[in-house]
Structure 1
Amino acid sequence: MLKRKLWILGMIVLLFTAACQGSGDKAASGDSGDTTLTLWHIETGPSEKALKEAVKRFEDSHDGVKVKVVRQENDPYKTKLSVAMGGGTPPDVFHSWGGGWLEKFVDSGQVADLSDTIDTSRFLPSALTPATFDGKNYGAPLAMDIVPVWYNKDMFKKYGLEEPETFEDLNNIAETLKSHDILPFSLANKSKWPGSFYYMYLAERIGGPDLFNEAFNREGRGFDDEAYVEAGKKIQELVKNDDFPNGFNGMNFDTGQSRQLMYAEKAGMIIQGSWMLGTTRADMPAFEKKLGFFLFPSVEGGKGSNKDIVGGVSPVFSVAKKSKHQKLAKELVQELTSKETAQELANKDGAISAVKDVEYDDEYVKQISKVLEQAEYLQTFYDQTLPPELAEAHLDTTQAIFGLSMTPEEAAKQVEEKAKEVLK
């Protein structure tokens, strides 16, 4: 009897040890156990909902794994992530736009290589480029954006206005709107990037699609080229003509100050990304039927075309190299950028998919997608393409141009001097 008890006790110990070892292996592999991943993003409305549903699918397929989803405000986000990266406490998965901003973290060894994880054939090649450095991929894209001029269709119809072909046409529209006590353009430029759209478009329309690449690659014209100076002059003409809200350089985009002027029909136009559609559906669904868009018009005598567009890739999801659960984090990125997520984003948020074979049911998205397909040139956002120091110089000087505190010549010269320091 004693031997039998000892044998049973021994078997219990062996089984317990094996179970512990087994669970230990599982936990170590990151496939189960009490594991929590952190995801930082800046999406709102239907887009945020699509991400949360992707997270739920991921959690359902990974027993014992939870994802803490943290939505950051757009404007403070870059600073918060930089602080978290520098302090060694980054989120496991984070939103980016690719370009110079992401490359800064890649160069400092803070981003995991996804080259062996994601199937690049699932994505549009142009969407992968901003997160590819030295032949390696550091981010998976979900959507792409273009920046049109959004306008109130009912307002245009009421005052007999047509979509402009030239910048002169646009100025005439502005004068008509002002004659009826309506602001031509709604702009909240405290965060600087909304005003950058005007500068990028005007510079491209005047100097042509090769202007930025020549300045960025240090091959030909620089950031002090006359096209940039002329772009600044046209912006200051708009400011002096009272085409923007009072105090626009201090207004906050994140709190919806510029959009509210559109919804209240106190402004007729706004230059914003294609995310404006999803934001409107979340903020003021009834306004959607009044929302139309056209591409920024050509400038007489300029080298650019009104089929050239400003745009970018966002969100791009990357994994922090210091993540303790890299394998799981990479799997989360795959779910966040799955066809199912992209499909929902396209049809509920008006997003152009960076994922192939997505079918568009939404008429707005079909129109936006068609514009992207017909575009002759895509100018990526300066503040995401340029190295951080140069991007900051661009944003600061552009805001100063809008504020009339710096001449276009001074602004162009300052950016070019910084480019000589930063670009090799």
Structure 2
Amino acid sequence: MTRYSVWATVMVVLIMTIVLGGCPKAPTESDAAPGPAATPVKLNLWTIWNAEPRISALQAIVDQFQQQNPGIQIQVTALEPDAYKTRIGVALGSSAPPDIYFVWSGEKMLRGFIRGGNTADLTEYMQADDAQWQSRIVPASLEPYVHEGRIWGIPFLLQCTFFFYNTEMFDKHGWEIPETWDELIALCRKIKAAGITPIALGNVQKWPAHHFPFVLSQRLLGKQACEAQFDPLGPGDYSAPEFVRALEMFADFYAQGFFNDSPNGTTRENARALFYSGKTAMFYTGTWDLSRLVEGGEAPEEFWDKWDFFDFPALPGGKGNQHALAGSPDGYVISSATPHLEQAVAFLKFMTTVEQARGFVDACQELVQVMGAVSEDNAGPRLAKYARIVEQAEEIAPWMDTMMEASVADEYMNGVQALLDGRMTPKQIMEAVRQRQARVKEQMLAAEQGEPGAGE
């Protein structure tokens, strides 16, 4: 069983400790920041939380921390998620990287930054005072932030992907929630026959479309077999025919006209707007959009109560768990280059107190990975439903684009985008992925052996 398999298995057992869970021990003086310095310390925090209500919720945490710690100032830089992926790499290679920064768990970002020496080891802080800080974090979500027995970051949110659907539209036409892939196809045909676009898809950013063949790969092949491919130094080479088959199924699904026109020319923001404006019946997206479709988000008030969500349908006959969720935790790390490690740690400890975590849940209705953060009192109906689904899940399969090595993930997502444009076939995509994985493996082995010229 891989490290990621352990995480997913433990996650579905322990997640209920978040929901309706008792409060952990109250923060002690060990959570306090160092005393005020003669010259205020300035911390730079980079995040992808660039839209409401997240940005205000984060700023509220920052403001409260600064009030309690007048010797520390925090400057928040909020970037659009796809721009962030490029800019954070550049920033970490500069002489002044951010002190605290957001990461997706997985090979593509967190593990790469750990190997590159860009993240501070938080183990001693997490385990100090009888592990009071560590005990506040949901153990299963912390697992992906552990590497070689050391703790390198703090998970804050657990995100999963679902089909969001227009309940008013479904009720009006008598459409039923599909339980299998064939039923989803039949549903989309009915929706299209009614003159409505079945699914909104915005793939300018390249990663949204990959979620379809990724889940199909998991359903066909199984989570552990998929995960065996992710480690560039492992035995996987993406040669299993199920990867090609998943792309073929997605290509056929797309060819039937179940998406809006020109998805590669549509942003995910515009796709979301197509959904909440009633132009499409469904939108396959993540729980990061829960807060955008309710009060305080971007959707109009008349839509707030007209939507719900369901999981990706089963694929009978597949080798994988047909009811596995797709998702991963994301959170924050501290730069190994920060001159203000103690102050940065103090902020993350403050951010992950139960009080601050609950405030974030109140504002954003997201599944915060702090014990006792989500309760019957502060979870709206959709967050409560999401928490129950996670609680009952048999498996959680981490997304391919975060688990693949960065250049391999780009190869796959570029291929999926080319598939939608008719420029590549499924076999060509997977051949390109296999070749890229082989080059990455060769480069990493050469780098480990200290050979000159290692790297591309």
Of the candidates 103, 107, 110, which is equivalent to residue 118 of structure 2? Answer: 110
In 2, are the aligned partners of 1:205 and 1:303 still within 8 Å (CA)?
yes
Equivalent residue for 2:313? 297
> Relative to 1, partners in 2 of residues 1:31 and 1:402: Cα closer, same or farther, differing over 3 Å?
farther
Equivalent residue for 2:41? 35
Matches within 5 A, 1:8-407: 31=37, 33-43=39-49, 44-100=51-107, 101-118=109-126, 119-216=133-230, 222-253=237-268, 256-281=269-294, 282-286=297-301, 287-314=303-330, 316-360=331-375, 361-407=379-425
Matched, 1:417 2:416: no
Q: Which has the larger radius of gyration?
A: 1
1:71-130 alpha-carbon deviations (Å, 9 max, x no partner): 101111011111111122211111111222122222222211111223222112221122
In 1, are the aligned partners of 2:36 and 2:69 still within 8 Å (CA)?
no
Per-residue deviation, 1:337: 2.5
> Relative to 1, partners in 2 of residues 1:30 and 1:231: Cα closer, same or farther, differing over 3 Å?
farther
TM-score w.r.t. structure 2 length?
0.82
Query: Which deviates more, 385-394 or 336-345?
Result: 336-345
Task: Report the AA paired with residue 341 of structure 2.
Answer: Q
Q: Helix, strand or coil: the match of 2:229?
A: helix
The alignment's C-alpha RMSD in Å is 2.0
1:178-201 alpha-carbon deviations (Å, 9 max, x no partner): 112211110110111111211111
Q: Helix, strand or coil: the match of 2:101?
A: strand
Q: Helix, strand or coil: the match of 2:125?
A: coil
Per-residue deviation, 1:364: 1.1
Task: Report the AA paired with residue 200 of structure 2.
Answer: S
Distance 2:60 2:163 in 1: 31
1:353-399 alpha-carbon deviations (Å, 9 max, x no partner): 21112233322111101111111111112222222122222222222
Distance 1:387 1:229 in 2: 19
Distance 1:347 1:394 in 2: 37
> Relative to 1, partners in 2 of residues 1:403 and 1:30: Cα closer, same or farther, differing over 3 Å?
farther
> Relative to 1, partners in 2 of residues 1:206 and 1:220: Cα closer, same or farther, differing over 3 Å?
farther
In 2, are the aligned partners of 1:32 and 1:63 still within 8 Å (CA)?
no
Aligned pairs, how many? 395
In 2, are the aligned partners of 1:184 and 1:243 still within 8 Å (CA)?
yes
Structure 1 unmatched runs, 5+: 1-27
Distance 1:150 1:234 in 2: 21
TM-score w.r.t. structure 1 length?
0.88
Task: Report the AA paired with residue 327 of structure 1.
Answer: E
Distance 1:62 1:345 in 2: 20
In 1, are the aligned partners of 2:35 and 2:71 still within 8 Å (CA)?
no
In 2, are the aligned partners of 1:50 and 1:341 still within 8 Å (CA)?
no
Distance 1:246 1:32 in 2: 59
Equivalent residue for 1:24? none
Equivalent residue for 2:29? none
Task: Report the AA paired with residue 291 of structure 2.
Answer: G
In 2, are the aligned partners of 1:338 and 1:355 still within 8 Å (CA)?
yes
Q: Helix, strand or coil: the match of 2:281?
A: strand
Q: Helix, strand or coil: the match of 1:397?
A: helix
Task: Report the AA paired with residue 364 of structure 2.
Answer: D
> Relative to 1, partners in 2 of residues 1:395 and 1:29: Cα closer, same or farther, differing over 3 Å?
farther
In 1, are the aligned partners of 2:308 and 2:382 still within 8 Å (CA)?
no
> What is the aligned-residue identity percentage?
27
Query: Which deviates more, 376-385 or 158-167?
Result: 376-385
In 2, are the aligned partners of 1:235 and 1:402 still within 8 Å (CA)?
no
> Relative to 1, partners in 2 of residues 1:389 and 1:32: Cα closer, same or farther, differing over 3 Å?
farther
> Relative to 1, partners in 2 of residues 1:211 and 1:77: Cα closer, same or farther, differing over 3 Å?
same
Distance 1:250 1:88 in 2: 36
Per-residue deviation, 1:222: 4.2
> Relative to 1, partners in 2 of residues 1:210 and 1:53: Cα closer, same or farther, differing over 3 Å?
same
Q: Helix, strand or coil: the match of 1:242?
A: coil
In 2, are the aligned partners of 1:347 and 1:365 still within 8 Å (CA)?
no
Distance 2:182 2:38 in 1: 62
Distance 1:35 1:273 in 2: 36
Distance 1:304 1:182 in 2: 32
Distance 2:43 2:184 in 1: 49
Structure 2 unmatched runs, 5+: 1-33, 127-132, 446-456
